[in-house]
Amino acid sequence: MKITDLKCAVIGGYPIIRITTDAGIDGIGQAESYKPFLTPHVLFYRDMILGLDPTNVEAVMQRIRRMGAFKPWGSAVSAIEVALWDIAGKAAGLPIYKLLGGKVRDKVRVYNGAVRFPLRDQSPQAYAENVIQMAEAKEGFSIVKQGISFHSNMMYDVPNYFIGEKRTTGRHPNRGLMTEQGMKHTIACIQAMKDALGDAVGLALDCGPGLVPQDAVRLAKAVEGMNIMWLEDMLTGDYVPYVSAAQYRDVKSKTSTPIHTGEQIYLRQNFMELIETHAVDIIGPDPLDVGGIAELKWISEYADLHGIMMAPHGTGDGIFGLAALVQVSATLPDNYIAFEYPVARPEWWYDIVDGLPDQIVKESFIDVWDAPGLGITFNANAKKYLAAGDERFFD
């Protein structure tokens, strides 16, 4: 079997890649909805993989892996990797998890991810109401994650929140020392959320990037008695092309509150210092950014050897990203906590894909499905959503 083409189309806001073969088997990969510009990044790799056997996934990846980088280049490489596994599974007549060594769990836990509701304001009461809405969603989440501090509008809507210039361009652009008022407000919102949820539903907090190390320590120590699941991306995170492992280790050494990062990181090499120096308690690579699903599995196993937990990112990964997360999470060691559940918007996405269960999440779990490859496929309805210029994507 040989690769005959690599294509990319933006469908409903998501970059979708399709690898075709001379055996008539194709593979689908996907990138986050936040990257509708990704087509030229994907096609950059086309000539590097044409003519190769897609079922030799590692051999193909060795051609392109070193040509990637932190977002967005790693996203293109990751989408290609997922599509290769989709082909390999279809060719073997097996779900991808079988090719990764088999599953160790029949269902995988998820947390709320993209299931969110508007906040009426930045008050503690509003935050309490909001997490209750997420906990009461039909998916029955056992963990909910909320954005606070520099991963929220607090720095814009709360007077005198931090010391620094407020920026509005780019993604999570603000960073600086929090005022006493800002810190107290943040802690009050966390306490209100914990009081509302009680001890039956875990609370995780997405905090940045943007906190300086001193404030990260203050915040982590202030919530030590609340049994927070984790504080995520306080120092680095979305679209930050470096890891800052030494700073994270300094924060972690001063608190018992679990510290989490990793969604922006590309490849195992860039997790080495975080893991080997025990700089964090939990890592959260995204299979659509880290280099693919096999890369995520390797990182998870290495983290497990060092006593570090795994909670993969995935909020913008769409339906095919969801399938990739289900397949790889079924194979991960016992350091697996839960992955961030993506939903697809617009709703018509669920009408153009076959293979998903009628109810995807039940009581915070997804049953691992057994169809070959990713286990889901486009149906004939998908063609009508192709944009001008992409009409031949499924040919």
Please write the tens of the pLDDT for every residue from 94-123: 999 999 999 999 999 999 999 999 999 999
The DSSP output letter for 269 is G
Query: Looking at the chain, which residues constitute the CATH 3.30.390.10 domain(s)?
Result: 3-94+379-385
pLDDT bin (cut points 50, 70, 90) of residue 19 is very high
The pLDDT of 166-173, averaged and rounded, is 92
pLDDT, average across residues 179-207: 98
CA-to-CA distance for 334 and 327, rounded, in angstroms?
Answer: 15
Q: How many CA atoms lie within 13 A of 351 on its CB side?
A: 9
Extract the tokens encoding 99: 């090719």
Averaged over 251-271, what is the pLDDT?
Answer: 98
CB–CB of 256/282 below 8 Å?
Answer: no
Q: Which residues contact 274 (CB under 8 A, 6 or more apart)?
A: 243, 245, 248, 261, 262, 265, 280, 283, 308
92 vs 378: CA distance, rounded Å:
19
Q: How far are the Cα atoms of 51, 57, 200, 245, 263 from residue 242, in angstroms, in the given order?
A: 35, 27, 36, 9, 11
Q: Give the class (CATH, top level) of 99-374.
A: alpha beta
- pLDDT tens string 328-371: 999 999 999 999 999 999 999 999 999 999 999 999 999 999 99
Location of each CATH 3.20.20.120 domain in the chain: 99-374
Helices (H) and strands (E) in the chain, counts: 13, 16
Provide the pLDDT for residue 66. 97
373 sits in the region (left: phi over 0; alpha: psi -120 to 50; else beta) called: left
242: nearest Cα among 196, 219, 273, 220: 273
The answer to whether the CB of 233 falls within 8 A of the CB of 209 is yes
| Residue 285, both tokens | 């690579």
Predicted confidence band at 253 (pLDDT cuts at 50, 70, 90)? very high
Q: Which of 253, 251, 195, 255 is nearest to 226 (CA)?
A: 195
Phi-psi region of 359 (alpha: psi -120 to 50; beta: other; left: phi over 0): beta
Q: What is the mean pLDDT of residues 315-324?
A: 98
CATH of 3-94+379-385, one of 3.30.365.10, 3.30.390.10, 3.40.50.2300, 3.40.50.1820: 3.30.390.10
- For residue 161, the model assigns a pLDDT of 98
Query: pLDDT at position 177, please?
Result: 98
pLDDT at residue 292 in the model: 98
User: What are the C-alpha distances in Å from 270 to residues 31, 203, 310, 315?
Assistant: 20, 28, 16, 21
Confidence of residue 168 (pLDDT cuts 50, 70, 90): very high
Q: Which of 243, 248, 235 is nearest to 270 (CA)?
A: 243
Region 134-147 average pLDDT = 98
Q: Give residue-wise pLDDT tens across range 58-99.
A: 999 999 999 999 989 999 999 999 999 999 999 999 999 999
pLDDT at residue 129 in the model: 98
Cα–Cα separations (whole angstroms), residue 180 to 159, 184, 218, 295: 11, 6, 11, 42
Query: What share of the chain has pLDDT > 70, as a percent?
Result: 100
Q: Tell me the three state secondary structure of residue 247.
A: helix
Cα-based angle 137, 142, 146 (whole degrees, multiple of 5): 70
- Residue pointed to by tokens 């280790």: 249
Sign of CA dihedral 209, 210, 216, 218: negative
- pLDDT bucket at 284, cuts 50 / 70 / 90: very high
Q: What is the DSSP letter of 362?
A: B
Q: How confident is the model at residue 37, as a pLDDT? A: 96
Rounded to two decimals, what is the model's pTM? 0.97
Per the prediction, the chain carries an average pLDDT of 97
pLDDT number for residue 211: 98
> What residues have CB less than 8 Å from 166, skipping those under 6 apart?
155, 156, 174
pLDDT at residue 11, rounded to an integer: 97
